[in-house]
Chain A
Amino acid sequence: MEILGIFGIFVLVPLIGSVIAYLFRKYAVAVAAIFAAVPSIALYPFYDTNVSRIINIGVKLNLTLDPTTWFFMLMLDTLAFSALLFAIPYIKKAQGNFATLILVALAGANGVLMARDFLSLYIFWEMMSWATYLLILRKSGEYARRYLLFGVLSAYFIIMGIGIVYYYTGSFLYSATTGIPMSGWFWILLFLVLGFGVKMAVVPLHVWAPYAYCAEQPFVAFLSGGLSKLGTFGILMAMYSIAGISILQGFGTFRGVSLFGYPFALLGAITAFIGTVLAIFQDDLRKLLAYSSIGQLGYVMVGLGLGTSLALGGAIFHAFNHAFFKSLLFLGAGAVIYRTGKYKISEMGGLGYKMPFTFLFVLFAIFALAGIPITSGFISKWMLYEAAIAKKFVFIAPLMLIASVGAFLYCFRILYGVFLGQLSEEHKDVKEAPAPMLAAMFILMLPLVIFSIVPGWILGWISKILVSMGLKPLEYSTFAYYSPIGNANMLIMWIAFMLLFMVSMIIFMMKKARVVDQLDNYLAGEAPTQVQLHAAHNFYKPLKDTWAPVLKYSINRAYEKFSQFFVEGFKEIRKMYTENPQDYAAYMGIAFLIFVLVGWWLL
């Protein structure tokens, strides 16, 4: 393994593992989990190191493991490991190819993170892309194609970007991009950002996400939490490492923010808003989470677009948080689906009493998603807001803030619809999720709590990344963090909260309470034994009615019309091949004439 170094550990081990895991038919996923654990453990020696290596397989792959890569890789490998751990009980049939494909996707993802030249970036990107496609194909067949098309679209945007770089420099290296004119940079960055933006599901390139996220939950957790972060990483590298801040500033600045980045920031804010609004009205648990992660990645996009030190730090931190809490949510949903077999929120209810641990984990994830300060989810949102407000951006900031208010709505939708309310008759004997699932969820919950008490650690890592990209480091201490216009100290907040919680605990403990059955309930004197009390169906109806005139427009349908139009055109063109030899002979004659004439004209 030392011969190949980082390539061996982070790319070959999963690849070999994928083949080996396939052979253990029944235990494939467990074996795969072990192979996924290797890179995530092997990562720790590489903390704050800078290892590079060139692998020559006929094309040269330049791989580097620096703090940026380390940070993202930590995220991804942990997610992959816990997703596979979760999948051990979850995946019942065809374990083999699930495990294989997840590991291939992991290898591809690690490769993308380590790649320092466009060729290997593209190779690993596509590897990850088709493995993901096949994983989606396992569950939701028709929509997998949609994912693949958008995946290929993004790949081709990236190819355009790469090609223009190659046109100017004749090299694929990230480092060799000197002497490219600004016009060239504009197109390169545009194509690269669009390409990676597809993976981040930025509106209007988001239509693949809601359907792709209906695949098996452990994989979706990895896809939404982990693989979508490759988009973040790609944009980060493209804009701030390959191009660099000075090039971006070269496009002209608006209050110190690059005019190239600002539209993307605005787009991100719009994405956050649209994703949130659409998430509020979903009844399918998986779709709700999908739209919410579209919205959350919108926040990340804002940070990437603004590109001040604070905003970028916030974006990276939010990507980290989103990776963990959204995977946690998807896994929680997976646990519920695994136990009940239902997807619709309105068909569940009261499961929190039967699955307390799952409920607690999901509750923490939702605190993080809603940005409640007792989780680290708050800090990243805080940084993004303050970055936007400090720069006096009066369009981005309100959109982000109102979107985060909307997040409360769908968060409560999940909590109430799934875990609270009435426990329906058919779920009377639902059991708690099996141990591996709980373990996986617990692993994902830890960072959210730890980094909310001690944000200093992770802010330190992020500052390293920012410094390596030539930006100012963040201002932070172990427990507190600062922006130009404000500050917050998590330790004091925690202590105060704990003390006050104890105070209210004392008042609460003065009297004992008696537990009554859920049907012993105020129903105007009625006490029926069989009744549906769960008010989760079409939960936000009044809001939906008020939004109806806006909601009737759908980007999705626009795409379908578009593709329909083209297929009709293809049918017309197909008529060119009349199955008639005379015509074909005529074609040859005409072709001969045209060729000769063109040739003579060229002389």
Chain B
Amino acid sequence: MMVQPVLLIALPLFFAFLLPLISLWSKKVLKYVVMGVMAFNAILAFIVLIEALKAPIFDIIAGFQPPLGIVLMVGPLGAFIALVINVAAFVISLYSATVTKEPLLKYYMLSLLILMGATGMVLTGDLFNLFVFLEVTSIAAYGLASYNKDRKGFEGALKYVIMGSIGSSFVLIGIAIIYAQLRTLNMLDIATRLGEMDPYTKIVAFVSLFLGFGVEAEMFPLNAWVPETYDGAPHPVSAMFASMSAKSGIFALARVIFTIFAFSNYLWFVVIMGILTVFFGEIIAYVQKNIKRMLAYSSIGQMGMIIMGLGIGTVLSVQGAFFQMFSHAMGKALLFIAAGYMIYAAGTDRMDKMKGIGRNPLIGIPLLIGILSIMGMPPFIGFYGKFYILMGGFQQGYYAIIALFLAASIVEVAYYARFIKIAFEKSERKYPAPNIWVYAPLIIFAIIIVLFGIYPKPVMDILSHVAAFLAGGA
């Protein structure tokens, strides 16, 4: 059967506005409805992926032919990232069941919207839609970030709003420049006719788009909002940011770099931005005492690694980058969920107050698996991305940068090891046992991490399409 990828976007949107009606009938079912929608979406994404593996899908909306009309351009990689986002969204939605703070209705609407926006950003083939979906994602994210209605929440949200809006205005400028010069918004069309642009303006357009999506992609130095927003947001929301909005942002970035402007001589600069992101992310994470901030900075580091992988720009490294998106989405979501439980159980977010919290195997084992995966230890999925990015770097001969990167990741290992030590050391303190909504998602993520870590063949097969993507396709 032929699945319309548009469903992936339409379904959450539709249900997001259906939710108020449902809530009139009963508030209890909301979360189950959302879970159902997201589960169905995940299955849909899987089918789309299978379709897309046969051939890239071009789904034209409202009959206008490209380059005029708006179009969904679903390549294997897009479908893959969409699948990752949807799966993450579904599993996180299980954890969202622990959120009890009113207004639940708004929470669920916004979480559906952020899913819709993120998926849209990945699937769309049209620059302006990209901007629209970016806006949807960001605005939903702003709402969710300040959902706790406390000082931290508002402060984080405010900074996110400022940075995010500057970023999206950059994007708008970039789009405007391009449209002014080329009179089209379809990506492939732009890519083919890029030569007609005046090079200097082209750079400006590129940089605008690059920076605009860089905000979502947590690129240095545009990532200052990350720690506070992640810290202030509710725990499921931090997980969503890490695994959904950030991923869509980085994928958009990848599109900008490869599909639209296929510069080769600009890439080394991207690499430098990537390594800077890694470096500052990791070493600042080392000195954090607050667990969610530590995770936030470490996810900055991870995103920097992905940017590096994109910038290195060999097939191998870009495969690594995409694998890293997958592993980071899974691992970091797991860690944020675990962190949420810990903060709830320990009653504080300071790590040194969490002695022995991991000694309960239901928490401890998934936590350990997640951390090892983020550290890049085989046989967990975190390893392959890191290794491939490094090997790609070696192909290009970026020795110094890789040495710097390895130094940074030794720092990463150091602070995660410190956390493991605290989490597993002996203490007589008793912590409340996690309920199913906490450990079910943890275990699902852990299983995914181990499974694809031991047998990564399916992912590798999907990533073998990277070459085509680099060539400027979808």
Q: State whether the Cβ of A435 lies closer than 8 Å to any Cβ in chain B.
A: no
Contact A141 B228 (CB under 8 A): no
Q: State whether the Cβ of B14 lies closer than 8 Å to any Cβ in chain A.
A: no
Among B284, B395, B402, max chain A CB count under 10 A is at B284
What residues of A have a CB within 8 angstroms of the CB of B179 in the complex? none
Contact A141 B421 (CB under 8 A): yes
Q: Which of B351-403 contact A (CB under 8 A)?
A: 368, 372, 377-379, 383-384, 387, 390-391, 393-395, 397, 399, 402-403
Residue on A nearest B166 in the bound complex, by CB: A588
- Given contacts A56-B457, A573-B284, are A130 and B163 in contact (CB under 8 A)? no
What residues of A have a CB within 8 angstroms of the CB of B206 in the complex? 599
What residues of A have a CB within 8 angstroms of the CB of B287 in the complex? 567, 570-571, 574
Q: Which of A564-603 contact B (CB under 8 A)?
A: 567, 569-571, 573-574, 576-577, 579, 581, 583-585, 587-588, 590-592, 595-596, 598-600, 602-603
What residues of B have a CB within 8 angstroms of the CB of A159 in the complex? 387, 390, 406
Contact B410 A573 (CB under 8 A): no
A588: contacting residue among B211, B228, B413, B424, CB under 8 A: B211
Q: State whether the Cβ of B46 lies closer than 8 Å to any Cβ in chain A.
A: no
Among B222, B228, B413, max chain A CB count under 10 A is at B413
Q: State whether the Cβ of A126 lies closer than 8 Å to any Cβ in chain B.
A: yes
Contact A596 B203 (CB under 8 A): yes
What residues of B have a CB within 8 angstroms of the CB of A598 in the complex? 269
B466 to chain A, nearest CB (A): 14
Q: State whether the Cβ of A152 lies closer than 8 Å to any Cβ in chain B.
A: yes
Q: Which of A319-369 contact B (CB under 8 A)?
A: none
Among A56, A581, A583, A603, max chain B CB count under 10 A is at A581
A145 to B424, CA, bound (A): 13
B18 to chain A, nearest CB (A): 36
Residue on A nearest B204 in the bound complex, by CB: A596
Contact B403 A160 (CB under 8 A): yes
Q: State whether the Cβ of A38 lies closer than 8 Å to any Cβ in chain B.
A: no
Q: Which of B438-474 contact A (CB under 8 A)?
A: 454-461
Q: State whether the Cβ of A144 lies closer than 8 Å to any Cβ in chain B.
A: yes
- Interface residue tally for chain A (C-beta within 8 Å): 57
Binary A-proximity of B124-158 (CB < 8 A = 1, otherwise 0)? 00000000000000000000000000000001001
What residues of B have a CB within 8 angstroms of the CB of A166 in the complex? 391, 394-395
A133 to B79, CA, bound (A): 38
A203 to B22, CA, bound (A): 69
Contact B387 A122 (CB under 8 A): yes
Q: Which of A116-161 contact B (CB under 8 A)?
A: 119, 122-124, 126-127, 129-130, 133-134, 137, 141-142, 144-145, 148-149, 152-153, 156, 159-160
A152 to chain B, nearest CB (A): 5
Binary A-proximity of B195-207 (CB < 8 A = 1, otherwise 0)? 0000110011011
Contact A137 B424 (CB under 8 A): yes
Contact B383 A123 (CB under 8 A): yes
Q: State whether the Cβ of A59 lies closer than 8 Å to any Cβ in chain B.
A: yes
A185 to chain B, nearest CB (A): 16
What residues of B have a CB within 8 angstroms of the CB of A579 in the complex? 155, 228
Contact A126 B378 (CB under 8 A): yes
Contact A57 B456 (CB under 8 A): yes
Task: Report the tally of A-B residue pairs with Cβ distances under 8 A.
Answer: 159
Contact A574 B221 (CB under 8 A): no
Binary B-proximity of A159-180 (CB < 8 A = 1, otherwise 0)? 1101110110010000000000
B311 to chain A, nearest CB (A): 13
Residue on B nearest A156 in the bound complex, by CB: B406
- Given contacts A59-B460, A123-B378, A599-B203, are A592 and B225 in contact (CB under 8 A)? no
A167 to B397, CA, bound (A): 7
A602: contacting residue among B170, B265, B413, B420, CB under 8 A: B265
A275 to B413, CA, bound (A): 28
Contact A153 B410 (CB under 8 A): yes
A58 to B205, CA, bound (A): 39
Q: Which of B43-99 contact A (CB under 8 A)?
A: none
What residues of A have a CB within 8 angstroms of the CB of B461 in the complex? 58
Q: State whether the Cβ of B3 lies closer than 8 Å to any Cβ in chain A.
A: no
Q: State whether the Cβ of B159 lies closer than 8 Å to any Cβ in chain A.
A: yes
What residues of B have a CB within 8 angstroms of the CB of A603 in the complex? 199-200, 203
Contact A592 B211 (CB under 8 A): yes
B222: contacting residue among A119, A153, A587, CB under 8 A: A587
Contact A144 B391 (CB under 8 A): no
A234 to B200, CA, bound (A): 53
Contact B284 A574 (CB under 8 A): yes
Contact B203 A584 (CB under 8 A): no
A167 to B377, CA, bound (A): 23
A574 to B284, CA, bound (A): 5
Q: State whether the Cβ of B414 lies closer than 8 Å to any Cβ in chain A.
A: yes
Residue on B nearest A148 in the bound complex, by CB: B417
What residues of B have a CB within 8 angstroms of the CB of A576 in the complex? 280, 284
A197 to B383, CA, bound (A): 23
What residues of B have a CB within 8 angstroms of the CB of A587 in the complex? 221-222, 224
Residue on A nearest B265 in the bound complex, by CB: A602
A144 to B460, CA, bound (A): 34
A581: contacting residue among B158, B221, B460, CB under 8 A: B158
Residue on A nearest B170 in the bound complex, by CB: A592
A442 to chain B, nearest CB (A): 35
A577: contacting residue among B155, B204, B224, CB under 8 A: B224
B170 to chain A, nearest CB (A): 7
Q: State whether the Cβ of B313 lies closer than 8 Å to any Cβ in chain A.
A: no
Contact B421 A599 (CB under 8 A): no
- Given contacts A130-B377, A145-B421, are A160 and B406 in contact (CB under 8 A)? yes
Q: State whether the Cβ of B210 lies closer than 8 Å to any Cβ in chain A.
A: yes
Contact B162 A584 (CB under 8 A): yes
- Given contacts A587-B221, A602-B266, are A570 and B421 in contact (CB under 8 A)? no
Contact A600 B203 (CB under 8 A): yes
Q: State whether the Cβ of B15 lies closer than 8 Å to any Cβ in chain A.
A: no
Contact A573 B200 (CB under 8 A): no
What residues of A have a CB within 8 angstroms of the CB of B236 in the complex? none
Q: List 12 A-B contacts (CB under 8 A).
A: A123-B379, A134-B368, A148-B413, A162-B391, A163-B390, A164-B394, A573-B284, A577-B224, A577-B227, A599-B204, A600-B200, A602-B269
Q: What residues make up the interface of B, taking CB atoms closer than 8 Å to A?
A: 155, 158-159, 162-163, 166-167, 170, 199-200, 203-204, 206-208, 210-211, 215, 221-222, 224-225, 227-228, 265-266, 269, 280, 283-284, 286-287, 368, 372, 377-379, 383-384, 387, 390-391, 393-395, 397, 399, 402-403, 406, 409-411, 413-414, 417-418, 420-421, 424-425, 454-461
13 additional contacts (CB under 8 A) given A152-B413, A587-B221: A56-B457, A57-B456, A58-B459, A58-B460, A137-B424, A141-B425, A163-B399, A164-B394, A570-B286, A577-B227, A584-B159, A587-B224, A595-B207
